[in-house]
Structure 1
Amino acid sequence: MKKRNVKVFFGFMVIVVFLSMPLLWATEVVEELENRLQQAASPSERLECLSGLVRICMQEVPLKAWKYGSQALQILQEFPDDRVKIRVLNGMCWACGVLGRYQEGLDMAREAKTLAGEINDKEGLAITFATITNIYLNLSDFDTALDYALKARAMNETVGNKRGIASALNSIARVHRHQKKYEEALTNYQEAMKITEELGNNENAAWILNNMGTVYWELKQYQTALELYARGLKIMKEVESKIGIAQIIYNIACVYSKTGKHTEALQYDMKALELFQELENKGQIAYTYGSIGRDYRNLKDYPKALDYLDKGLKMAIELGVKVAEEAIYEEYTQVYEAMGDYQNALLYHKRFKNISDDILNEDINERIAKKQVSYDLERTEKENQLLKKNNQIQKMELISLTMLSVLVLIIAIVTYNRYRTRKKAEQVLRVSEQKLKKMNAAKDKLFTIIAHDLGSPLNSLLLSAGHLENHFQSLGEEELEEFIHNIYKQTRDMSDLLENLLQWAMVQIGKIEQNPETVDFRLLTEETLEQIEYSAQKKKIHLASHIMENTFAWADKQMMKSVMRNLLANAVKYTHPGGEVKITSTDAGNRVEITVSDNGVGMDKEKAERLFMEEVHESTRGTASEKGTGLGLVLCKEFVEKNGGEIRVQSQPDQGSHFSFTLPKHH
């Protein structure tokens, strides 16, 4: 063992020495700008130096970029320059992405986007779309990332920025790679490489080589991947890109791991970790922790493997990087399997499967495909419009400019004002029509429910009460108790139905008020269980609350009461007599997750997908022929989403159902 450790140490030192040589990258430009900044006398000179420093430092020295950007924004408050501000905000956003401060970065990018739109700065918009794309790629939100990448490409084509077009193609390819659409990914990378080679941009070419290498690595064509990485690494060292070198040696470590060179993989991963830590690139640090955990697993050092996986998982969850979480959960599974701890192996495999399905679901793939098709159609249409416009311009050039006059200008202004007035009127009419349709649909649905779902229990109640009044003296004690129970049950069912109807109607007309506060879910669950305990006892269903102490969420308490009441009533309704309903909570970082589980009848995938759809009005009888309206779960979705959360269901026929919803933690 000692012999192996010595080999690892000396191998590691060779890599350190070899890779440190190009990392003595030139700082002349930064030093020159910093010297100029100290000597700058006017605000405009200081602003020029600061904006340049932000652009140069945003990738390699993000904290410096942030510091200089903050100074630039202070100057811009006194001496406004919108175009400079847009570029400073974008540089600070990029630095936030490197530092893992994604939400802060998005806020700055959105400010830049708004400002660029107001002043019609198309180049600024193109830069901002690319910056936002990078943030969403880091967050594994590939649907949104593709949306902004397509916008970036279109805007760069408008302003004729070939470098920006190549960058957008690179981002589009990254989305396709993450969705395992390798052919489309390679097509976009090759198109980006062609443009990059025409421009002679070596660093961008190196990044594309790196990304293409990753595609071949995922296709298990390891030799091709290593060749592409080697070409990319050579260029990165020539242009002295610290982040580029770190990324490629990290990827080489992945290939070595797949080809059984576990000692070399550990050496390269350790060097990558050192570089990412110097750059304070938290997202890549999380990935690298996971890879080092994998290396130690392959070397059968399981305690160290678990230690690095713990570090990586904590950072990935804090940053919200789902792809890193997915890889680390999978690695946990393999470590525990190797240790013979199959219980933990199964636990982490389930977590891996859940997050994997979340990242790569059919809905996202379908939306991404639609966005791509929509963009291609829009691009073709714009090209046709541009051709027509050019023909019109050629014709207009033949007309003498002397024909323009004040009269034409006045006519144009009057026409434009009339057009705007008509458009506004049409828009108001469309909005009114949509509101009217929605209100009519809500009214029809309300009357349908009242006619079908309220009439029957009301008639039953009247019959029971009438029979009780007419035969009270002749009824035995058991019969009397049964009649009273039936009247209570029918009254309670109508009360629940009316409450759901009232809340649903309030939502439809936008009259429901939201008053968020700190909600103690342990206490709220206990109160709700008391309300449905009678129904559960009648079916001999065991109710079990496993809500942790201090499970506090920031939400509207009355809405949450309705959510819990509907979910628990639903669980009791579809659980067989003698079954069990459980309520559990999970700490999900800055969110709280509540799950209501039963071991009842369950449902198929098709039915589960229709559960929360407002336009689908259907309700299945419960295991004791209980009736419902189908509104309860629709209300649950409305209320959870109004409070900044999400709700989902997992179910299989005859295996019960698990309804889970998340909410923000209390402030």
Structure 2
Amino acid sequence: MSFKINIFLFFFIFILPNIFFSQSKDSSLFEKKNIEKKSIEFKKDLNFVKAQSFYLKKDWDSTLIYSMKQLSSGKNKTLADYCHYFRGLSFYNKKIYKEAKKEFLLTSDSFQLSPIKNFFLGASVLELRDYDKALFYFKLSEKQSIKLKDNKFLTNIYNGIGTTYIFLKRFKEAEKYLLRTLQLNEQSKNIDKICTSYMNLANLYYEQYKDKLAIYYFKKCYELSKKVNNISTKQTASKNMAVVEENRGNFKEALAYRKESEQWKDSLNNQNKVWAIADFEKKYAVAQKQKQISLLKVENKLKDNQRNGLFYSVLALLLLLIGGVYVYAQKVKSSKIILTQKNKLDELNATKDQLFSIVSHDLRSSVNALKTSNAKLTTSLETKNYNELDQLLHQNSAIANSAYSLLDNLLHWALLQTKQLYFHKDSVHLYSIVQQIEYNYKPLLLDKSITFENAVSKNSFIFVDLDSLKIVLRNLLDNAIKFSQENGEIKIYTVETNTDFCQLVIQDNGLGMSQDTINELLEDNELLAKKSNSEIIGTGLGLQLSKQMIKKNRGMLDIESEPNKGTKMILRFPKTEQNG
């Protein structure tokens, strides 16, 4: 029993990995031609082209990045199949088999590389020890590959099926497929693979306690390994023969095979050492050369110092002469900087005082309104006046939302002023963002029975910071709702232009404003302004914050409005290449 365990252990360590990784060489030509053809067909899809390029170079991490970018930006079903295939093979080679399985299963049944995909899907679930599913996918790959008439690829599939049958203890089926594998390998005259087939059959027979057949194939593997260049194959074959002879009691022969195995092992180690020594010598030579260069630099520096000594002495005298002028100029400059900083500080203090005044007043109003509403709410609960109770709850919600928006704007305004707000620009799908904002404000729109329409072009992509864009859209939509009457209408849409900017319009049919008010709102200053309409609570902080964030995103803001005829807030942001 110990003999069988030792031999089957080598099967796990040596034979099983070779079954699957050898496939990448056999199918590479068919796969490479297919992939390169698609890269030419879809050359405008840059993320896909980069993904396939990195895949063919076996740069798995870069393949994962660009295939995900392609999946995120495109909806082409064919490219999606190839991207999932790239990701599956990348995860498989990184030995992340669960993720590999997920990606392979996302490809469609019509995928052109399905035979290879199903083979690796079988290999992945075999690594996850799901033998029944592994057999299913290997069989499916076999059925698809027979049409391709590719014996090299079929050899790997038969090997996989035979191996799976061994795990399932279905030894007759395993023998059938492993013998078929051996036959195909012998036809191709691939000595390395014939050795592998002999090793597989030997392990199969030892699993069934058919020692004579097992030893026969171990011997054939050993004799054939003398003709291969793979040192690892030679070492494993001789080591297996050592175990065979030990279990037969032929310790002298076993010792000879064991010594041979150790020699091959030493050869592997020596080969690694040779490379290590060569690398060390190279580094040493570079270090010596660098040392010589450093010495030359020091010598040149000393010569330069001697040559330039007189020059520096003259320079020192000249510096003494102009030193007084420089000190005086620095004093004048420092005075100007201090004066500028003082003016800026006074302006910031004025802004701070005005901000505290406005915000504290509005928060006090909101809290007082909430306090009064809660008192009425208590009374309504006691009197069981449910109609008024529902109205008060909605009123409390509106007051709380208003106070939260004010505090949120205050936080972002403070971060912006102190330059602590993080900006990261990227390509943003405008329609999706407007859809998110609409969802957040659905309760307020329903509360005032306002009709909302998202007419933004689904092909519009802009290059902005996502978080700041959301803040701008929330504030402008909040203002549109605030200044709209019951049963009003709000529409957000894009206007096609031939420039590099995307034009977004937020239109309402609310109270509107005069031209003087528009000019005041668009004025380029950082101070806050209280709205003149006393019935509408607001600090003006939201619009000021929006203006500064639009400016940081290289955007522009314009306003069109007339009293009692509604308002158009017109935004322009840089387009991304997708709009090109």
Provide TM-score, normalisation by structure 2.
0.42
Rg larger in structure:
2
